[in-house]
Chain A
Amino acid sequence: MSEHFDVLVIGAGPSGNAAAYTAAKAGLNVLQIERGESPGSKNVQGAILYSDALEKIIPDFREDAPLERHLIEQRMWMLDDESYVGSTYRSNAFNTPPFNRYTIIRAQFDKWFSKKVQDAGALTICETTVLGLHMDGDRVVGAITDRAGGSVYADAVILADGVNSLLAKKAGFRPELQPRDVALAVKEIHFLPDTTIESRFNVGPDEGVAIEMAGKITQGMVGTGFLYTNTESLTIGVGCLLSDLRARKITPHALIENMKAHPAIRPMLEGGEMKEYCAHLIPEGGYNAIPRIYGEGWMMVGDAGMFVNSVHREGSNLAMTTGRLAAETLIELRSEGKDFTADSLARYRRKLDESFVMKDLKKYRDMPGFLESNPQFFTQYPGLINRAAHTMVVVDGADKKSKERDIRRNFIKKRSRFGLIGDAFKFWRAFE
């Protein structure tokens, strides 16, 4: 298959599919290569789909995309060993179409997205691993695959090969990942009847709940957990910085088992049948970890470019947006009769800078360093907040003023007065 294409897209996840779809729909000759048996078979996500990013690519996606439940309720839990303090936002406004967020099952969703890509005119080849890039000096001109005689050539190559991006590493476009720049997340899917899920989570058919969790479930490590409702299943997962897992010598397997045993979590999973166990690295380095994302004849999109907003748990929407903007850059340049040089592809970077992608990542650029140097937000505060809630809720004959004094003393004992003021200030600065 020694052929020449306008665009070669490596990978068929959200970023690769967004790029291939956008480019093919505009009439570019697109080849997409995916190593999985089918698109999605190598891909792992929580998973929540944010409609906005997909709407900009496929406006009528709701007509046939495999969507699970639209979310009408978001819970945030701060857990201690046997308790949690939580907040919930639920609104019937989320029940008015068009819906803003859905739970999805990636193996099904990616297959659907890939069908759209192929309908748009791209050639997608699965079960094919790209081994390396073909270079002509600084310029990427194609790729070599593990098929017999499997060299392919293109005017532009879009690297959508995920967080590990071996291709970018081998080509020297990106250094090896650092353990503090990625979180390792493990996830399970548990099947339950849809009516059980609806009564257990107080929702109607097609309505869903997302629970984001922090605190003791990560055992003091920087990380979070989640539980999402699908139509007939629940996904539960937890992720921590790899550097923390390594330092604390806690196995990811033990982490999720402990989480599932929490007295507030166990009843939600009761009676479910576990049908898959997944693991995935998540880029957590934020803005400062973003490598060079374009060069002579190439661009990087999605997780390969470290495009994840870890504060807001957003990734697939950044992936789709970066994929779309990369393709739009090529479409514009082609119509202007320009070659895909590093100079001309700088337009991709400018498009990203103008979009929410870079604006959000820039806003939280200090967050990874802040969390690394302030472990108290994961070690001490969850316990303090839960004990404060316990003190105020228990009716035991003590007057409320004394209870408040006890709570204050506990906080000062753990963090000191200056520590508390400093933490509040630092917390505000990190989110500012």
Chain B
Amino acid sequence: MIKVEEKLFQNRYKVDAGRAHIQIADPDVCQLKCETKPCLVCCPASCYTKEGDGAVTLITDGCLECGTCRVVCSEHRNVLWEYPRGGYGILFKFG
């Protein structure tokens, strides 16, 4: 199966370096309290990955700005989700 990264490579982005528009509020909640970690499965751009020690890391560069990670994190509400600054983020060529 083609990797999602290869698909995202087709997309156009203007990355706001050093200013991630989504942040994990408390990393300990993801690592220690959240058993299901729905963000890992549901994010359509696979921005969330699980480390060997159970910690969850987030890289927003490929984000499609859909809002899924914020909505699925309904148990812990641990995703701080804002839109990127004006003009930054995904720039759909076709949409």
Check A276 for interface membership: any CB of B closer than 8 A.
Answer: yes
Please provide the chain B residues from 1 to 52 with a CB less than 8 Å away from any CB of chain A in the complex: 1-2, 4, 7-8, 10-11, 14, 36, 38, 41-42, 44-46
Asked whether, in the complex, the Cβ of A107 is within 8 Å of the Cβ of B41, the reply is no
Asked whether, in the complex, the Cβ of A35 is within 8 Å of the Cβ of B95, the reply is no
> A45 and B95 in contact (CB under 8 A), knowing A246-B42, A279-B44, A279-B66?
yes
Closest to B64 in A: A279
CB within 8 A of A129: which of B44, B77, B85, B95?
A: B85
The segment from A182-190, A360-368, A419-427 that touches chain B is: A182-190
A-B residue pairs in contact (CB < 8 Å), sample of 17: A37-B14, A37-B87, A41-B95, A42-B92, A107-B94, A163-B67, A164-B67, A182-B71, A184-B68, A186-B44, A246-B41, A251-B42, A276-B93, A279-B45, A280-B66, A281-B66, A281-B71
CB within 8 A of B92: which of A233, A250, A276?
A: A276
Asked whether, in the complex, the Cβ of A257 is within 8 Å of the Cβ of B92, the reply is no
Check A105 for interface membership: any CB of B closer than 8 A.
Answer: yes
CB within 8 A of A250: which of B41, B70, B84?
A: B41
Asked whether, in the complex, the Cβ of A253 is within 8 Å of the Cβ of B86, the reply is no
Check B90 for interface membership: any CB of A closer than 8 A.
Answer: yes
Minimum CB–CB distance from A85 to chain B (whole Å) comes to 27
Report the Cα distance A110→B83, complex, angstroms: 20
Check A311 for interface membership: any CB of B closer than 8 A.
Answer: no
Asked whether, in the complex, the Cβ of B95 is within 8 Å of the Cβ of A177, the reply is no
CB within 8 A of A246: which of B14, B46, B67, B72?
A: B72
Report the Cα distance A202→B92, complex, angstroms: 30
Report the Cα distance A331→B67, complex, angstroms: 34
Report the Cα distance A277→B7, complex, angstroms: 6
Check A146 for interface membership: any CB of B closer than 8 A.
Answer: yes
